[in-house]
Amino acid sequence: MAARDHHQRDVVVSSDEESTTEQLRRGPWTVEEDVLLVNYIAAHGEGRWNALARCAGLRRTGKSCRLRWLNYLRPDLRRGNMTAQEQLLILELHSRWGNRWSKIAQHLPGRTDNEIKNYWRTRVQKHARQLNCDVNSQRFKDLMRYIWMPRLIERIGGGSSGDGGVAELMSSSSSCHCAAAASSSSSASTDGTQQQLVPTPLPPPPALASAPYGNDDDTAAAAAMWTWDTAVCQQPPQQHVDCYQPTTTTTCNSWSDESLLGLSAPSGVVYADDMGMGMGMGVPDLGDTTMWGAGADDLWYTQIMGL
DNA sequence: AACTGACTCAACCGCGCATAC
DNA sequence: AGTATGCGCGGTTGAGTCAGT
């Protein structure tokens, strides 16, 4: 931020939103402004942002002060990349609530709605674009639900720290029955007691349960995914659900890169990249770390997704 | 090393809704 | 009831950064 502050514009603008006739600043915040804002809030608390801006001596709109505080200066903000748990939560909660960023942010302590929105727009939507499908399409939702999310769950399960919040949320989720088991074997319930999370079977994907598949692209894509998925797990559908519960049974090893690479799927196999979001593939003659975005991935998707 | 294009993310705007006055 | 204010959201901007050539 220092570099940005160094080069910052000293933009002054008249706000049509504020009642004051005073010239208001906009653009990047200076350290001095940050100090003013932090000190004032420490002394008087937040809220009443327009009055706060005036009383704190900030030539900023109340809206700008609020944004700066909530998105950057709040002491409880988390910094750094989204963890697998957070990514999983975002995917899960977005599938439940859509673009209710602030509501989603309430379940990710230290993360702001703006940060989550940026994450969604830059990371998730990017993959949708690369898949040449709409982020709201059933095809893309199936991808998230049946590949990315299980992969994230695997990563969480393989990690040392279980996230109780994730487990609790997932345990009540109707769309990802596996996460509770994957994340942790127990979770703190709202009354503070430890709640045992019982793995629940994941039913076949709704779009896949009603065979035969029509010509709808999304359904066809899901069908292709299901076909591949079953092949990868080499399990009849009823047992196949275990593949989404990496920490509960050994069949879940099908999701490890090594196991995936060991299978002879028609044109390769898929796994999420290190971010847990990007799709990669393991094809013997292409190497096993081909990252999403490479031409080979497009080829693979063309085949798998029936594009 | 220099250039370039893609990407990231803080910050902004406009709008709509809810609440307070 | 009308107005002001607070808040949330979608969309956008632009400087800095990174990766590829």
Is pLDDT of A275 > 60? no
Q: Confidence band (pLDDT; 50, 70, 90) for A174?
A: very low
What band does A267 get if pLDDT is binned at 50, 70 and 90?
A: very low
The confidence score (pLDDT) of residue A290 equals 26
Angle at A211 between CA A209 and CA A216, to 5 degrees: 100
Please tell me whether any atom of strand B lies within 7 Å of the Cβ of A61: yes
- On strand B, nucleotides with any atom < 7 Å from a protein CB are 7-14
All protein residues with a CB under 7 A from any atom of strand C: A 3-4, 6-7, 9, 19, 47-52, 62-63, 66, 70, 98-103, 105, 113-114, 117-118, 121
Q: Where is pLDDT greater, at A126 or A168?
A: A126
The secondary structure of A57-114 as a DSSP string is: T--S-HHHHHHHIIIII-TT---SSPPHHHHHHHHHHHHHHSS-HHHHHTTSTT--HH
Residue A258 has pLDDT above 70, yes or no: no
Distance, in Å, from the CA atom of A112 to the CA atom of A103, rounded to the nearest integer, reads 10
Q: Is the CB of A27 under 7 A from strand B?
A: yes
Q: Tens of pLDDT along A119-135?
A: 888 888 777 777 777 77
How would residue A50 be classed by pLDDT, with cut points 50, 70 and 90? confident
pLDDT at A98 over 60: yes
Strand C nucleotides, any atom under 7 Å from protein beta carbons: they are: 4-12, 15-17
Residue A19 confidence (pLDDT): 36
Q: Residue A23 has what pLDDT?
A: 67
Judged by C1' against the alpha carbon of A50, the nearest nucleotide is: C5
The helix (run of H) or strand (run of E) holding residue A26 is strand A24-26
For CA atoms A79, A88, A134, A127, give the dihedral sign.
positive
- What is the per-residue pLDDT across A293-302, written as a single tens digit (0 to 9) for each? 223 333 333 3
Confidence band, pLDDT 50/70/90 cuts, at residue A226: very low
Return phi, psi of residue A77, to 5°. -75, 145
Pairing relationship of beta strands A269-272 and A194-196 according to DSSP bridges: unpaired
What are the domain boundaries of chain A?
2-73, 84-196, 206-304
A303: Cβ contacts below 8 Å, ≥ 6 apart: A266, A267
Residues 6 or more apart whose Cβ sits within 8 Å of residue A289: A280
Give the model's pLDDT for residue A74. Answer: 82
**Can you tell me which residue has its alpha carbon closest to the C1' of nucleotide C6?**
A48
Q: Residue A184 above 80 pLDDT?
A: no
CATH class, domain A2-73, is mainly alpha
The strand pair at A269-272 and A279-283 is best described as: antiparallel
Count of CB atoms within 10 A of residue A82's CB?
20
Q: What φ, ψ does residue A194 adopt, rounded to 5°?
A: -80, 125
Cα–Cα distance, A139 to A145 (Å, whole number)? 10
Q: Which residue has the higher pLDDT, A151 or A8?
A: A151
**Mean pLDDT to the nearest integer, A158-176:** 43
A 125-154: CB within 7 Å of strand B: 126
- Res A67: pLDDT: 86
* Of the candidates A37, A33, A28, A38, the residue with the CA atom closest to the CA atom of residue A6: A28
What pLDDT does residue A180 have? 32
Q: Which nucleotide is nearest to A118 (CA to C1')?
A: B9
Backbone angles phi, psi at A242, to 5 degrees: -65, -25
At A89 the pLDDT is 83
